């Protein structure tokens, strides 16, 4: 197993492909291939479902002082993965995770998740997240396959959808150049350093 401190961008891409059931094909693709596919592929999701995915992604990784999931084209990349590399079973699982979220919105507010305000979306998804991501009993034996499958969430479809959104965001150019990097600053230890445009890390090394 790889040292977690040495995980590179290709490994994270392989994990993203594994999340959509791409299996053995995972090792042959790069971030640029995913971006190209997202740009040229005929959409898998219809417009209403894509709007729902966009709303969910924006709620999980919203734009703040840095780019969010929409800026990083996460919804389009997920759609490209569904077209090009996802297994039929995983397409269904991820689609049902979205349908379930939309159903909760209709039950609570009488309208779809994409039509809710940002505050309503966040409140609904936080509640759903808490229930869906409860971890059950650890699978035995502790094989590599079981470890790579991830936690046994109460709602595995939603767990994979959320991980995919977060993972694709953090391997995107906006995230890597605006948020994720380590800048070594020798000198005395300071327990709290304000994050400013000068001190915010930029992860060009992974990109």
3-state secondary structure labels for all residues of 126-167: HHHHHHHCCECCCCCCCCHHHHHHCCCECCHHHHHHHHHHHH
Closest CA relative to residue 67, chosen from 196, 172, 204, 165: 172
Does 49 reside within a domain? Answer: yes
β-strand partners of 153: 135
Does 198 reside within a domain? Answer: no
Look at residue 153 in the predicted model and tell me its pLDDT: 80
Look at residue 205 in the predicted model and tell me its pLDDT: 45
Does 160 reside within a domain? Answer: yes
CB–CB of 173/82 below 8 Å? Answer: no
Does 79 reside within a domain? Answer: yes
Q: Which domain holds residue 31?
A: 4-178
Look at residue 112 in the predicted model and tell me its pLDDT: 97
CA 107 from centre of chain? 26
Closest CA relative to residue 83, chosen from 145, 33, 11, 48: 33
Closest CA relative to residue 199, chosen from 191, 184, 188, 207: 184
Q: How many angstroms separate the CA atoms of 78 and 20, rounded?
A: 9
Does 105 reside within a domain? Answer: yes
Does 206 reside within a domain? Answer: no
Look at residue 187 in the predicted model and tell me its pLDDT: 61
Query: What are the tokens at 27?
Result: 């090792």
Does 202 reside within a domain? Answer: no
Enumerate residues 6+ apart whose C-beta is below 8 A from 189.
none
**Domain tally, the chain:** 1
Enumerate residues 6+ apart whose C-beta is below 8 A from 122.
59
Look at residue 54 in the predicted model and tell me its pLDDT: 97
Query: What are the tokens at 34?
Result: 């995913």
One pLDDT digit (tens) per residue for the chain, 207 residues = 444 434 466 666 666 766 766 654 444 555 566 666 666 567 889 999 999 999 999 999 999 888 999 999 999 999 988 887 788 888 999 999 999 999 999 999 999 999 999 999 999 999 999 999 988 655 555 555 555 556 678 899 999 999 999 989 988 888 877 776 655 555 666 777 777 766 665 554 444
């Amino acid at each position: 197993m790889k040292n977690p401190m040495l995980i590179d961008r290709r490994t994270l891409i392989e994990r993203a492909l594994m999340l959509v059931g791409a299996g053995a094909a995972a090792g042959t693709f790069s971030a640029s291939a995913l971006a190209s596919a997202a740009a040229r592929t005929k959409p898998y999701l219809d417009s209403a479902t894509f709007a729902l995915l966009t709303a969910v992604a924006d709620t999980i990784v919203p734009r703040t002082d840095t780019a969010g999931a929409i800026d990083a084209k996460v919804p389009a990349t997920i759609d490209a993965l569904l077209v090009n590399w996802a297994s039929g079973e995983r397409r269904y699982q991820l689609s049902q995770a979205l349908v379930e979220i939309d159903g909760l919105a209709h039950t609570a507010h009488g309208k779809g998740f994409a039509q809710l305000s940002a505050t309503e979306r966040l409140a609904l998804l936080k509640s759903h997240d808490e229930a869906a991501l409860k971890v059950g009993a650890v699978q035995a034996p502790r094989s590599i396959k079981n470890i790579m499958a991830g936690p046994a969430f109460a709602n595995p479809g939603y767990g994979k959808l959320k991980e995919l959104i977060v993972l694709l965001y953090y391997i995107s150019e906006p995230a890597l150049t605006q948020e994720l990097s380590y800048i070594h600053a020798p000198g005395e230890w300071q327990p709290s350093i304000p994050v400013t445009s000068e001190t915010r890390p930029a992860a060009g090394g992974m990109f």
